[in-house]
Chains A and B, each alone.
Chain A
Amino acid sequence: QKEVEQDPGPLSVPEGAIVSLNCTYSNSAFQYFMWYRQYSRKGPELLMYTYSSGNKEDGRFTAQVDKSSKYISLFIRDSQPSDSATYLCAMEGGGSNYKLTFGKGTLLTVNP
């Protein structure tokens, strides 16, 4: 089993839809959980990070972490065509020497 699993999609939704992106993981030592957005032919950019379990909201984006289920989610409300990108989850913790473990990314397209 890979340490981090992420459905690669692709996911296609109409503008205004609520989008749910998810990752599961196997390493219970992970403490920090991050979401990156990567536009085509660009570098990944950090969207949000959370520590341990709980929710974090930033505008239209909400990150959720459920450590008991080893499951993290990113919700996008009122999705816009500009949200079309690949979304990668990443995790850190447990003496990894500052290394992040990335999911492979989910390709999202928001259609106008």
Chain B
Amino acid sequence: NAGVTQTPKFQVLKTGQSMTLQCAQDMNHNSMYWYRQDPGMGLRLIYYSASEGTTDKGEVPNGYNVSRLNKREFSLRLESAAPSQTSVYFCASSSDPGPYEQYFGPGTRLTVT
């Protein structure tokens, strides 16, 4: 039981490049989330998916797109990376019904130069 896995662990991009961050969970959870974490800003929700086939914007969705490929997988795409997207990205999943506690992956450290 691996929980939530993320790939890659580290990535360096040049401004304007694109990439997809992958996330998978093996806990049969319905809901999945993408966060970014920056110093002094805490965890900020980018997008979430309450169930397979649905996605919704979070607090900071601009510059990102997501795909809920199936129940297990939820990917985050940066179409044209900007230095402001340098951050640590975490994927999480949660069960429902409540209490909706979220389980996090190990994170992807992204640097955009």
Q: Which residues of A contact B (CB under 8 A)?
A: 8, 31-32, 34, 36, 41-46, 49, 51, 88, 90, 92, 97-100, 102-105
B79 at interface, CB cutoff 8 A: no
Contact A43 B90 (CB under 8 A): yes
* Alpha-carbon distance A32/B90, docked complex (angstroms): 21
Known contacts A44-B90, A98-B31, A103-B42: A51-B48 contact under CB 8 Å:
no
- What's the A-B contact tally at a CB cutoff of 8 Å? 56
| Chain B hits for A88, CB < 8 A | 42-43
Residue in B41, B58, B98 whose CB lies within 8 Å of A32: B98
Contact A98 B42 (CB under 8 A): no
Q: Closest CB-CB distance, B72 to chain A, in whole Å?
A: 17
B103 at interface, CB cutoff 8 A: yes
- B interface size (C-beta, 8 A): 25
**Which 3 A-B pairs have CB atoms at the shortest separation, nearest pair first?**
A104-B42, A43-B104, A32-B99
Q: Closest CB-CB distance, A77 to chain B, in whole Å?
A: 23
Contact A92 B90 (CB under 8 A): no
Known contacts A44-B90, A98-B48: A92-B99 contact under CB 8 Å:
yes
B53 at interface, CB cutoff 8 A: no
* Alpha-carbon distance A34/B92, docked complex (angstroms): 15
Residue in B4, B48, B98, B107 whose CB lies within 8 Å of A99: B48
Q: Closest CB-CB distance, B8 to chain A, in whole Å?
A: 15
| Chain A hits for B16, CB < 8 A | none
* Alpha-carbon distance A49/B98, docked complex (angstroms): 11
Q: Closest CB-CB distance, B21 to chain A, in whole Å?
A: 13
Contact B50 A42 (CB under 8 A): no
